[in-house]
């Protein structure tokens, strides 16, 4: 690789020398011919032909090593961008529009950044070629060096225009992402059912077109501004170029010896436009790639800040003795003023089963995400056996956490790997996977698969598409992979299951929670909107608009006759009405 780069630069310098040699030997040829020096004219002509041949051949050869350097760099850069984003320990960055806007731009970053690398080299070469051209013109008349000023104007104007385009791209990134989302809604099968039943396809298309038009209008306006800057720059150069040619012609008319200068000047000046165009184009490429480099550097700084905030170095305890405690905890999602959690203070005893209930948007999922260190509390703190959760090393803590979330993953891989991903070191441990499948009552799903554990899942890769309930049981099996978690999270784990399956799953996991609690002191947190499934919990937390309004076992909360009792009664009456009709 270093040798390839050295060859590229050496060949580029040789091309510059050949360019100067071609122009100077051409002037020598013309002057020798006019003065009747046939031998000198022949030698000069041969030198001209040789220099020109070197210029043409090397100019083509230096393009050859570009893919040798470009492709490995592209293969390295794309995974690095993805890896850096995935390495962020929290989820905050995936909910911030400023981050998502730059991620949308970075999706094409690899190729464009490498294009910018070669544009930078090409720009340096083109500017050097432009300098050689102007020096050659300067040997004819110092006044022609003023063309350097005129040549700089298009470069400056082009950078101004490119900057306007880059700013417009960033400003319209959000509407661009919106139209992409709407396009996916209209073309993917999952939302397609509801869209067609509701007859909302036309409205989705209208909104997508509206977002697309807003995006393109903003960008087209910037493109027009950029084109205006470019036109103005080239107009200034054209006027200066015309004046320079007039000066050379006037000088040549006064002396026979000036004919060679005239021929060289006209030849070089005629190529000046192409040289300048190359300089402008490559410089524009460098300016254009700044729209990708800026998000890349911004993301690098953002990730550096994230790493600096990682203060946790302590190992997770082998067992829980006291439990997990919330001390006046508050949290707001990025970009919002509303408190998702506000003043939460509660103790979750070691070995206990804790249920979190409340209406939608009450903060239930936010609470469990704080426990998993997806978010860090804005105020207050969470302690584990008296140690601040922020002081625990994140990777180590999460290795002692098992979780099944309501928005579970559907991984396009085999069924066995879908389950094994719950404990990556034991991904291929068939015995451990089988135990997890049985624990989650997913063995009935397994029996229906044509190739058992090796059945490929997901339409994306041409695999078998499971039903929603089958996917959820697979996710529950994945959550059962780790044998000794300190925290076991079940966030709406049975939302896609029928009532009998739900009851059976909860009984299984309740028994497992008791067994884990006795062995490791694990705290099991169950988030559910069905109150009948959590009556056996040791502690029930009732959340309302981010605040903890009630806490206690089922019997105490019913006796309190507060919010929990009201919601429980509403659900019980609704269920009774359903079963009698």
Q: Which residue has the higher pLDDT, 207 or 355?
A: 355
Can you tell me the distance from the alpha carbon of 292 to that of 491, in angstroms, rounded to the nearest whole number? 38
pLDDT reading at 72 higher than 70: no
Contact 83/321 with Cβ under 8 angstroms?
no
- State residue 461's pLDDT score: 66
Instruction: Tell me: do 421 and 395 sit in the same domain.
Output: no
Can you tell me the distance from the alpha carbon of 523 to that of 372, in angstroms, rounded to the nearest whole number? 12
Contact 495/406 with Cβ under 8 angstroms?
yes
Instruction: Tell me: do 496 and 395 sit in the same domain.
Output: yes
pLDDT reading at 96 higher than 60: yes
Instruction: Tell me: do 456 and 551 sit in the same domain.
Output: no
pLDDT reading at 66 higher than 70: no
- State residue 521's pLDDT score: 94
Of 491, 493, 569, 482, which is closest to residue 522 (Cα–Cα)?
482
Contact 458/411 with Cβ under 8 angstroms?
yes
Instruction: Tell me: do 421 and 348 sit in the same domain.
Output: no
**440-495 pLDDT, tens digit each:** 888 889 999 999 999 999 876 678 888 888 888 898 899 999 988 999 998 887 66
**102-126 pLDDT, tens digit each:** 766 666 555 566 666 666 676 777 7
Instruction: Tell me: do 321 and 367 sit in the same domain.
Output: yes
Helices (H), 142-257: 147-171, 173-187, 189-198, 201-252
Helix (H, G, I), strand (E, B) or coil at 515: helix
CA angle 13, 14, 15 (to 5 degrees): 90
Can you tell me the distance from the alpha carbon of 59 to that of 278, in angstroms, rounded to the nearest whole number? 13
Contact 382/367 with Cβ under 8 angstroms?
no
CB atoms within 10 A of CB 426: 16
Mean pLDDT, the chain, as a whole number?
Answer: 79
Instruction: Tell me: do 413 and 440 sit in the same domain.
Output: yes
Q: Which residue has the higher pLDDT, 269 or 328?
A: 328
CA angle 430, 476, 449 (to 5 degrees): 55
Domain boundary residue among 34, 64, 94? 64
Can you tell me the distance from the alpha carbon of 92 to that of 242, in angstroms, rounded to the nearest whole number? 59
Contact 375/366 with Cβ under 8 angstroms?
yes
Q: Which residue has the higher pLDDT, 2 or 354?
A: 354
Could you list the residue range(s) of the whole structural domain that residue 243 is in? 73-309
The pairing of strands 387-388 and 547-552 is unpaired
Domain boundary residue among 280, 309, 338? 309
- State residue 40's pLDDT score: 74
| CATH number of the domain encompassing residue 414 | 3.40.50.300
Instruction: Tell me: do 203 and 296 sit in the same domain.
Output: yes
Can you tell me the distance from the alpha carbon of 154 to that of 229, in angstroms, rounded to the nearest whole number? 8
Domain boundary residue among 450, 483, 516? 483
Region of poorest pLDDT, from 182-186, 259-263, 576-580? 576-580
Per DSSP, what are the bridge partners of residue 392? 314
pTM of the model as a whole: 0.62
Instruction: Tell me: do 26 and 128 sit in the same domain.
Output: no
- State residue 192's pLDDT score: 64
**17-43 pLDDT, tens digit each:** 777 777 777 677 777 777 677 777 678
- State residue 455's pLDDT score: 93
All residues at 6 or more sequence positions from 135 whose CB lies less than 8 Å from its CB, including other chains:
20
Q: Which residue has the higher pLDDT, 119 or 431?
A: 431
pLDDT reading at 77 higher than 80: no
Helix (H, G, I), strand (E, B) or coil at 402: strand
pLDDT reading at 327 higher than 50: yes
In this structure, what token pair is assigned to residue 5? 């780069």
Can you tell me the distance from the alpha carbon of 195 to that of 186, in angstroms, rounded to the nearest whole number? 8
**503-555 pLDDT, tens digit each:** 777 777 788 888 889 999 999 999 987 777 788 899 999 999 999 999 999 99
- State residue 60's pLDDT score: 65
Per DSSP, what are the bridge partners of residue 414? 456
**Secondary structure (DSSP) of 89-112:** SSSGGGG-HHHHHHHHHHTTHHHH
- State residue 71's pLDDT score: 53
Of 323, 292, 311, which is closest to residue 77 (Cα–Cα)?
292
**199-258 pLDDT, tens digit each:** 777 788 888 888 888 888 888 888 888 888 888 888 888 888 778 777 767 766 655 446
Per DSSP, what are the bridge partners of residue 358? 543
Instruction: Tell me: do 266 and 380 sit in the same domain.
Output: no
- State residue 256's pLDDT score: 44
| Domain count for the chain | 4
- State residue 82's pLDDT score: 64
Instruction: Tell me: do 394 and 510 sit in the same domain.
Output: yes
pLDDT reading at 9 higher than 50: yes
Of 216, 231, 235, which is closest to residue 161 (Cα–Cα)?
231
Of 290, 366, 362, 358, which is closest to residue 326 (Cα–Cα)?
366
Instruction: Tell me: do 368 and 516 sit in the same domain.
Output: yes
In this structure, what token pair is assigned to residue 339? 């408190």
Instruction: Tell me: do 245 and 155 sit in the same domain.
Output: yes
Q: Average pLDDT in the 183-205 region?
A: 71
**365-404 pLDDT, tens digit each:** 899 999 999 888 999 999 999 999 999 998 899 999 998 8
């Amino acid at each position: 690789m270093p040798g390839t780069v050295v060859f590229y630069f050496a060949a580029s310098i040789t091309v510059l020398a050949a360019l100067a040699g071609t122009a100077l030997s051409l002037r020598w040829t013309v002057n020798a011919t006019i003065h009747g020096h046939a031998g000198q004219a022949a030698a000069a002509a041969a030198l001209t032909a040789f220099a020109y041949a070197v210029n043409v051949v090397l100019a083509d050869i230096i393009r050859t090593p570009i893919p040798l350097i470009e492709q490995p760099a592209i293969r390295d850069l794309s995974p690095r961008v993805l890896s850096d984003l995935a390495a962020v320990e929290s989820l905050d960055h995936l909910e911030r529009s400023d981050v998502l806007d730059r991620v949308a731009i970075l999706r094409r970053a690899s190729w464009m950044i490498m294009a910018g690398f070669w544009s930078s080299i090409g720009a340096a070469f083109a500017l050097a070629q432009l300098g050689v051209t102007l020096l050659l013109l300067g040997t004819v008349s110092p006044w022609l060096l003023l063309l350097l000023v005129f040549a700089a104007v298009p470069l400056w104007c082009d950078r101004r225009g490119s900057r306007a385009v880059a700013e417009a791209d960033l400003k319209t990134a959000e509407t661009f992402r919106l139209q992409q989302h709407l396009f996916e809604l209209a073309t993917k099968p999952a939302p397609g059912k509801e869209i067609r039943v509701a007859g909302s396809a036309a409205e989705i298309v209208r909104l997508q077109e509206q977002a697309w038009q807003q995006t393109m209008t903003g960008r087209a306006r910037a493109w027009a501004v950029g084109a205006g800057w470019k036109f103005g720059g080239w107009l200034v150069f054209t006027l200066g170029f015309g004046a320079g040619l007039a000066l050379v012609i006037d000088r040549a008319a006064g002396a026979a010896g000036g004919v060679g200068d005239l021929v060289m000047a006209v030849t070089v000046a005629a190529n000046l436009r192409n040289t300048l165009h190359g300089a402008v184009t490559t410089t524009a490429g460098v300016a254009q790639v700044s729209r990708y480099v800026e998000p890349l550097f911004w993301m690098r700084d953002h990730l550096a800040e994230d790493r600096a905030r990682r203060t946790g170095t302590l190992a997770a305890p082998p067992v829980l003795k006291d439990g997990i405690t919330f001390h006046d905890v508050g949290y707001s999602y990025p970009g919002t003023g509303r408190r998702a959690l506000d003043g939460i203070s509660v103790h979750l005893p070691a070995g206990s089963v804790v249920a979190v209930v409340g209406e939608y948007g009450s903060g239930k999922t936010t609470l469990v995400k704080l426990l998993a260190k997806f978010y860090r509390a804005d105020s207050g703190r969470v302690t584990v056996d008296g140690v601040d959760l922020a002081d625990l090393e994140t990777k180590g803590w999460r290795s002692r956490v098992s979780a099944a979330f309501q928005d579970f993953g559907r991984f396009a891989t085999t069924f066995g790997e879908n389950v094994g991903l719950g404990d990556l070191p034991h991904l291929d441990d068939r015995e451990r996977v089988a135990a997890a499948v049985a624990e989650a009552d997913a063995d009935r799903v397994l029996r229906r698969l044509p190739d058992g554990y090796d059945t490929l899942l997901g339409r994306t890769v041409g695999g078998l598409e499971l039903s929603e309930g089958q996917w959820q049981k697979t996710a529950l099996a994945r959550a059962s992979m780790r044998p000794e978690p300190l925290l076991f999270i079940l966030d709406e784990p049975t939302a896609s299951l029928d009532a009998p399956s739900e009851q059976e799953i909860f009984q299984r996991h309740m028994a497992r929670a008791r067994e884990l609690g006795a062995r490791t002191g694990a705290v099991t947190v169950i988030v559910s909107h069905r109150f009948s499934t959590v009556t056996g919990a040791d502690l029930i937390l009732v959340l309302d608009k981010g605040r903890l309004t009630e806490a206690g076992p089922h019997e105490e909360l019913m006796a309190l006759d507060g919010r929990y009792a009201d919601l429980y009664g509403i659900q019980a009456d609704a269920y009774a009405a359903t079963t009698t009709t």
